[in-house]
Amino acid sequence: MADTASGGSGTRSGSKHATTPADNYYLARRRTLQVVVSSLLTEAGFESAEKAAVETLTEMLQSYISEIGRSAKSYCEHTARTQPTLSDIVVTLVEMAPVTNQPVTPKALTAGQNKPHPSHIPGHFPEFPDPHTYIKTPTYREPVSDYQVLREKAASQRRDVERALTRFMAKTGETQSLFKDDVSTFPLIAARPFTVPYLTALLPSELEMQQMEETDSSEQDDQTDTENLPLHMSTDDSGPEKENASVLQQNTSLSGSRNGEENVIDNPYLRPVKKPKIRRKK
Amino acid sequence: MNRKKGDKGFESPRPYKLTHQVVCINNINFQRKSVVGYVELTIFPTVANLNRIKLNSKQCRIYRVRVNDLEAAFIYNDPTLEVCHHESKQRNLNYFSNAYAAAVSAVDPDAGNGELCIKVPSELWKHVDELKVLKVHINFSLDQPKGGLHFVVPNMEGSMAERGAHVFSCGYQNSTRFWFPCVDSYSELCTWKLEYTVDAAMVAVSNGDLVETVYTHDMRKKTFHYMLTIPTAASNISLAIGPFEILVDPYMHEVTHFCLPQLLPLLKHTTSYLHEVFEFYEEILTCRYPYSCFKTVFIDEAYVEVAAYASMSIFSTNLLHSAMIIDETPLTRRCLAQALAQQFFGCFISRMSWSDEWVLKGISGYIYGLWMKKTFGVNEYRHWIKQELDQIVAYELKTGGVLLHPIFGGGKEKDNPASHLHFSIKHPHTLSWEYYTMFQCKAHLVMRLIENRISMEFMLQVFNKLLSLASTASSQKFQSHMWSQMLVSTSGFLKSISNVSGKDIQPLIKQWVDQSGVVKFYGSFAFNRKRNVLELEIKQDYTSPGTQKYVGPLKVTVQELDGSFNHTLQIEENSLKHDIPCHSKSRRNKKKKIPLMNGEEVDMDLSAMDADSPLLWIRIDPDMSVLRKVEFEQSDFMWQYQLRYERDVVAQEEAILALEKFPTPASRLALTDILEQEQCFYRVRMLACFCLAKIANSMVSTWTGPPAMKSLFTRMFCCKTCPNIVKTNNFMNFQSYFLQKTMPVAMALLRDVHNLCPKEVLMFILDLIKYNDNRKNKFSDNYYRAELIDALANSVTPAVSVNNEVRTLDNLNPDVRLILEEITRFLNMEKLLPSYRHTITVSCLKAIRVLQKNGHVPSDPALFKSYAEYGHFIDVRIAALEAVVDYTKVDRSYEELQWLLTMVQNDPVPYIRHKILDMLTKNPPFTKNMESPLCNEALVDQLWKLMNSGTSHDWRLRCGAVDLYFTLFGLSRPSCLPLPELGLVLNLKEKKAVLNPTIIPESVASNQEPVNSTNNHGQSVGFQNTFSNSQEEEEIDMDTVHDSQAFIYHHLNMLERPSTPGTSKEQSSGEMNMHPVSAAPLSVFSKESNSSKHSDHHHHHHHEHKKKKKKHKHKHKHKHKHDNKEKEKDPFAFSNSPASARSIRSPSLSD
């Protein structure tokens, strides 16, 4: 039955090409099913049908039968058999429950009587939950909430993780030792030079970076209160330039004469690089 | 240096004036570390017969020189490449220092000298006589420069830009000659045009305004065009090229910051503060920042942390930090502020001569101090002043004095103001680095003394006047005589002060500027109850080295029951005792509060006082208005009162130091109270921690309660509910952060009766480490954790060793095992989560060395050597190197010493090379008069070679080598050298017998030459080297035929010559570089007139022989004159060259 499925996809792509025996079987089955569908349709009183409609129905029928087969096979294999029996088919059919039957919602387990609505609650509101949902079951031990224990736990946990991690690193890589006679008690991961040593030394780790972002944003919040808004603004933004200019006016430091008019930062390092002049005279 | 510094202003030592210089670097090759370019100097002759132009140039290979488009001959001679020629057995430092000073003099631009001498073509002589402009065009290249220009090229895949390769100029004082030919003086100002063609992915940052950036035709490179219209000295020209990230300062768009790739976020944070420094300086100086733009560049492998140049500063990239870092922030801001102060004084205003350097360093240091006061507060400022004062005092007492304004008379040895030093202070390039650091420190302290005298207002007016004069002068075009207004001189500065303030500060200048030394006071007192008078005795020590006698006013503050009173005593020659009337009667009125100096009134518990005396405490020179050390005696309770109630942090710190000598419960209480007082300055509290530890150790038998500071720390930093657990970190309050960091370090110094660190303290520190939790902290805890490791190291005491057993794991002390466990974990975690600046690795390495030294762990340098390798972060390397240096000393290891010295010669980072020598000097493997297996002839030779020729590319390094040599062997002949075989040397030529010069330290090397002669070389094995040299020269000297042969020979040699003569080993000692026009040597050769060719040549020989036979010298001079009668005014004798200067000065025994 699995063959059918794979055969089906095979034909779709290569139907117009030379046929193989598998294709032939497939076409034969298909034709048979088409005949079945057509006769059922005639039985049902149809005089004619569009080809597409017949094809669709054929497809549905084929799928349904395939599914019964696949499912039955599964049940059969589930019980460690290779030969399907009738019961497999029955279970399958039950499972695939004909669509027409409305599923019966199983009655929820009830325990005791639900509390009736008080008078101020309209009757169409849902009922109160079952009484057992109100029952408390105390655990037999208090959860650890003692600060000291928590801190101790956290500390030793971290320490264990660190030790395990570094020991692992030391075991898997090169090591150095402080004692010539013993290389395992205090294994030191060997010092390895960097190609660009300042990067690891200066840049915060990712963990710290996260913390820093939080810090930064909180700083920024502080600054919205004051006038120093553009502190963290990148300079290639052209939007808040006016604020920039006003800050510059306040700090009369450098831009004495040019304030106000300055809307675009004129920094020589931001200017575009010029194209070379056409062939200078030599 | 016969310069007059009168009212007329500046007189140039050169026979011409430089007005403009073009520097064009066409090509920079990072792979080969080479640079190709040209310079063009526009000069105006100031004398009619100018025929030679002397310029500075080192390392550069010069291809071609043209003057006004005419090919010009030139000679290159740099006596500093090899200070003492010929393998003399002279190995004493006196001899070397004199020769080195003479060599530096011989090329000193401030004396009109230079390494490069260009002959003005004869066709232009007429032109010159009319004093018309000359354009000197020099094509040069640099190949693998060892100094001046530093290449950083990481060894990895990718293009140079992707690798973050960069290059920058660097050096100590005027070092620009290392990367292009120039007049490398701070006093020769001119305007500049700078052009750099670099890879399109790179940025070239240099001085002045970036006019434009243009692609080359192939669009693969860009040319950066800079114009610097403010007249600037070549020594203030700088360059940095690299794939920099660019940040325009959001507050000041004229300010641009540059950093290496990936560091932009750090750059943003680090420089976000700079505008405030700008505002501050502009406000106090009432003067705009003098340049139209400012650039900061942060680079790796920096020579110094901060280097200021005209309109730009070069910083170490390691100053960059994120917002999470506490400790680095003030340090970096201080560096930025220092750099900016030097923009005004040092770059914009330059100095007339080396002896005026103190004015610039003084002013920039002084205004930087004002910035400190404003930014960090008065307490921090006073603490800093005290610290600087203590430093300079200690240094001067140790070495014998720092002279700010050296004036040199007729060049007689007797007049040498620095005869106590092992180096000459006549030139910046001969100074020990430590001396120079202390020099700067003293300069700003003296400026502060001047401020005390004339008031800050006048002081700032003087600065403003200097700046406005300079700024007017700078806008004058081509009126070069005006430009000298931009140079500051000592006399000009003093004149300005007297004009502005109307005060005579001459005595002050004489005392602190024209004279070296500090004052040493000893004070004690007695209270005379009958007369109600305080009898104060103040003695001085002015005979020890580094001291001087002080005469003049001295302020004394006496805190009495009735209040605080200032008295000004006159310190005179013979009066030691001073009677000071007291205001209060000794009866005390207990109800009254006691008024303090600042007007505050406080309640005091007066029970500790002497019932008969109204004196609470006495302070001598409380404002630090004398450069002094005070040792004052007063009783312990007075120090305790001073600590508790005096509001000046300096007084508090002095009291803390004094209390170390009084280990009593009362001292303990006073210190504990200070520790707990949150209003108290945090540095005072930190200092109190260490004092408390010392007192506790002295009181160990009577000490009660828990170990010192433990309960205090618990109360301040531990959880209320569980006092053994420290709170999770929150460093928002910096004061308590610093205290939290320091207290464990101090506690670890506690010792019990067995002189061991109490177990309780060790466990306490281990718990701090265990429970350290930084998750909720806004700040990084790397410094805190590092100090906890320092604390562990402090707790280590010497191992009890039985019969020198070998240290193994089995006999490891259990406490040490715990410590090692922590160190191992920390050091390993650093590999996974490295801390900022690897502070934790640094502390771990130090701790491991402590364990080794105390005999817990086998002493072994292998670990440190691996961390010291190139490629580790610089702080880590230095910590590791320090351990190796210490190991070398303790284990007397020849192998490690050699390893260190090899690194001094070969390490790619100049700072590391310098630092190793510095550390070896501070922690020497042996000193003179000490028996050591390390002290042998080979080492003497090696170090001698290092300072004589191995370090010619770096002034600082050479002076470092000199310092080390001095520490190891002293001034005279090293004791480990074998005695010379002959006591007498026969001088065959002069038919005299002289004492062998090798055993006379002061004698002159030339004395040994007479033994040599071409006929009998091989006579003495020891002199063979010299022989071969002199023989070669002898031949050249024969006659004109030989002359020209040798000349051609030289020419041919020249083409294959390495560009850096000093670095080449094959180069014979006396050889001189005469660079002809390399393009067509022969044609030029024929073009040149015979006489001029000869003159060049003879000059050449003349120089080589200057320290040789007098006879020859004489002959040369004669020839010379003969050949160049008409034109040669200056016979072109290198009278300043080392040997000649020496022979003039020092008396030769043979004469």
B837 contacts on A by Cβ (under 8 Å): 201-202
Question: A275 and B828: CB-CB below 8 Å?
Answer: no
Mean pLDDT is lowest, of B320-334, B401-415, B743-757, for B401-415
Please list, in sequence order, all residues whose beta carbon lies within 8 angstroms of the beta carbon of residue B266, skipping any fewer than 6 positions away: A202, A203, B259, B320, B321, B322
Cα of B367 to nearest chain A Cα, Å? 17
pLDDT recorded at residue B1032: 38
Burial of B149 (0-12, 13-18, 19+ CB in 10 A): buried
Mean pLDDT is lowest, of A14-18, B98-102, B1054-1058, for B1054-1058
The ipTM assigned to this model is: 0.79
Question: B216 and A216: CB-CB below 8 Å?
Answer: no
As a whole number of angstroms, the distance between CA B646 and CA B653 comes to 10
Mean pLDDT is lowest, of A191-205, B408-422, B583-597, for B408-422
pLDDT, mean of residues B141-160: 93
pLDDT recorded at residue B189: 93
Mean pLDDT is lowest, of B227-231, B245-249, B994-998, for B994-998
What are the CB-based long-range contacts (under 8 Å, 24+) for B764-769?
A: B764/B707, B764/B710, B765/B791, B765/B792, B765/B795, B766/B792, B766/B818, B766/B822, B767/B724, B767/B725, B767/B726, B768/B726, B768/B744, B769/B822
Placement of tokens 């780790």 in the chain: A205
| pLDDT of B887 strictly over 90 | yes
As a whole number of angstroms, the distance between CA B797 and CA B816 comes to 10
Please list, in sequence order, all residues whose beta carbon lies within 8 angstroms of the beta carbon of residue B522, skipping any fewer than 6 positions away: B538, B539, B540, B541, B630, B631, B632
Contact B675, B695 (CB under 8 A): no
pLDDT recorded at residue A213: 62
Please list, in sequence order, all residues whose beta carbon lies within 8 angstroms of the beta carbon of residue B1021, skipping any fewer than 6 positions away: none
Cα of B776 to nearest chain A Cα, Å? 9
Contact B864, B847 (CB under 8 A): no
A189 contacts on B by Cβ (under 8 Å): 827-828, 831
Burial of B1068-1077, coded b for 16+ CB within 10 Å and e otherwise, reads: bbbbbbbbbb
- Which 303-332 residues of chain B touch chain A by CB within 8 A? 317-318, 320-324
- Which 129-148 residues of chain A touch chain B by CB within 8 A? 147-148
The distance in angstroms from the start CA to the end CA of chain A is 86
pLDDT, mean of residues B5-12: 59
Q: Residue A248's closest chain B neighbor by CA?
A: B251
> Testing the interface with A: which of B246, B248, B328, B870 to mutate, by most A Cβ within 10 A?
B248
| pLDDT of A123 strictly over 60 | yes
Share of chain B above pLDDT 90, in %: 68
pLDDT recorded at residue B420: 79
pTM: 0.77
A244 contacts on B by Cβ (under 8 Å): 250
Contact B190, B18 (CB under 8 A): yes
A268 contacts on B by Cβ (under 8 Å): 209-213, 293
Pick B389 or A105 by higher pLDDT.
B389
A162 contacts on B by Cβ (under 8 Å): 825, 829
Cα of A224 to nearest chain B Cα, Å? 16
Pick B1101 or B491 by higher pLDDT.
B491
A278 contacts on B by Cβ (under 8 Å): none
Pick B420 or B38 by higher pLDDT.
B38
| pLDDT of B980 strictly over 70 | no
Phi, psi of A97 (to 5 degrees): 0, 115
pLDDT, mean of residues B1063-1080: 39
Cα of B915 to nearest chain A Cα, Å? 18
Supply angle C-alpha A39, A41, A43, rounded to 5: 70
As a whole number of angstroms, the distance between CA B673 and CA B298 comes to 44
Any CB–CB contact under 8 A between A267 and chain B? yes
Q: What would the pLDDT profile of B720-732 be if each residue is shown by its tens digit?
A: 888 889 999 999 9
pLDDT, mean of residues B435-442: 96
pLDDT recorded at residue A214: 59
Q: How far is CA B810 from CA B756, B802, B818, B860, in A?
A: 21, 14, 14, 18
B862 contacts on A by Cβ (under 8 Å): 176
Q: Token pair of A38, please?
A: 């057509």
As a whole number of angstroms, the distance between CA A62 and CA A75 comes to 20
Q: Token pair of A84, please?
A: 């399907």
pLDDT recorded at residue B906: 93
Q: How far is CA B259 from the centre of its chain?
A: 25
Q: How far is CA A113 from the centre of its chain?
A: 43
| pLDDT of B1137 strictly over 50 | no
A254 contacts on B by Cβ (under 8 Å): 252-255, 278, 288-289
- Which 460-499 residues of chain B touch chain A by CB within 8 A? none
As a whole number of angstroms, the distance between CA B858 and CA B673 comes to 43
Determine the 3-state secondary structure of B204 from DSSP: strand
pLDDT recorded at residue B1072: 42
pLDDT, mean of residues B1058-1072: 40
Question: B1042: pLDDT confidence band, cut at 50, 70 and 90?
Answer: very low
CB-nearest to A202 from B251, B272, B320 is: B320
Question: A215 and B324: CB-CB below 8 Å?
Answer: yes
pLDDT recorded at residue B816: 93
Mean model confidence pLDDT for chain B = 84
What are the DSSP calls for B131-168, one per residue? T--EEEEEEEEEES-SSSEEEE---SSS-HHHHT-EEE
| pLDDT of B1038 strictly over 90 | no
Question: A142: pLDDT confidence band, cut at 50, 70 and 90?
Answer: low
- Which 213-242 residues of chain A touch chain B by CB within 8 A? 215-216, 219, 230-233, 235
Closest CA to B216 of B202, B198, B237, B229: B198
Question: B469: pLDDT confidence band, cut at 50, 70 and 90?
Answer: very high
Beta bridge partners of B954: none
CB-nearest to B256 from A192, A216, A267 is: A267
Q: Residue B726's closest chain A neighbor by CA?
A: A151
As a whole number of angstroms, the distance between CA B1144 and CA B102 comes to 11
Any CB–CB contact under 8 A between A271 and chain B? yes
Contact B1151, B1006 (CB under 8 A): no
As a whole number of angstroms, the distance between CA B160 and CA B154 comes to 9
Mean model confidence pLDDT for chain A = 73
Q: What would the pLDDT profile of B352-383 be if each residue is shown by its tens digit?
A: 999 999 999 999 999 999 999 999 999 999 99
